[in-house]
Amino acid sequence: MSNLKNKKLTLTQQKYKVFAQQRVTQRPVLANCIKAFFVGGTICLIGQLVQWIFMTYFGFDEVTAGNPTVAVMIILSVLLTGLGVYDHIGQFGGAGSAVPVTGFANTVASASIEHRSEGFVLGVGGNMFKIAGPVIAYGVFSAFVVALLKIAIKGLGGM
């Protein structure tokens, strides 16, 4: 990917990029991955706990417990976002907080909260999916393609 970018740069620019990279603090990839692992793992652990509570005390089974679990995780994330805590979790945990569904809820909640000053319709309503939009758009589109392909392959006597 970076090679494609380099093709458009002149030789001086490419040399400068290397020069600059040696002097700017690089992202601590290993440390970030370790932190992402622990934060992400913990969030999933909490999800597993919530699911267990729903199954044990509310009589849901493994399949039907999924929905209320996701709802609870989302409520927790929205609360933490509103209280101004989730952005700090995010700075620390990186993908560990962005990848779980709590990260998705954080994008919707943070955008909604931020754009309230522009009114509830155009501000909150219009900007709610600023960051989450691509996730839904590409999720739906890829699910559509995958489902069609699977049906087609099945129809042709495949799987």
Partner 1 sequence: MLQGHQSWVFDTRPVIIASAAVVGPFEGQGPLADDFDVIHSDMYVGQNSFEKAERKLLEQACEIAIKKAGTQKEDIHFFLCGDLMNQIISSSFTARTLGIPFLGLYGACSSSMEGLSLAAQLIDSQAAQIVLAATSSHNGASEKQYRYPTEYGAQKPPSAQWTVTGAGAAVIAAQGNGPRITAATIGRIVDMGISDPFNMGAAMAPAAVDTIQSHCKDLGRDPSYYDVIATGDLGKGGHRIAADLLAEHGFNLPENIFTDCGILIYSQDQPVMSGGSGCACSATVTYGHFLKRMRQGELKKILIVATGALLSPLSYQQKESIPCVAHAVSLEM
Partner 2 sequence: MEKFLWAFIVGGLICVVGQIMMDVFQLTPAHTMSTLVVVGAVLGGLGLYEPLVKFAGAGATVPISSFGNSLVKGALMEAESTGLIGVLTGIFEITSAGISSAIIFGFFAALVFKPKG
Using CB under 8 A as the binding rule, the residues of this chain from 82 to 101 that contact partner 1 are: 82, 84, 86-95, 97-98
Nearer of residues 82 and 125 to partner 1, judged by Cβ:
82
Find, among 109, 129, 116, 102, the residue nearest to 45 by Cα: 102
Q: Find the shortest distance in angstroms from Cβ 136 to partner 2.
A: 7
Decide: is 40 part of the binding site for partner 1 (CB under 8 A).
Answer: no
13 interface partner picked from partner 1, partner 2, none, CB below 5 to 8 A per type: partner 1
Please report, as a single letter, which amino acid is at residue 15: K
- Residues with Cβ within 8 Å of 74's Cβ and at least 6 positions away in sequence, in order, are 101, 102, 104, 105
The Cα 74–Cα 68 span in angstroms is 10
Q: Find the shortest distance in angstroms from Cβ 16 to partner 2.
A: 18
Decide: is 26 part of the binding site for partner 1 (CB under 8 A).
Answer: yes
Q: At what angle do helices 66-82 and 86-93 cross, to 10 degrees?
A: 100
From 12-20, 52-60, 134-142, 146-154, span contacting partner 1 (CB under 8 A): 12-20
Nearer of residues 47 and 65 to partner 1, judged by Cβ:
47
Q: At what angle do helices 101-114 and 66-82 cross, to 10 degrees?
A: 40
Q: Find the shortest distance in angstroms from Cβ 6 to partner 1.
A: 9
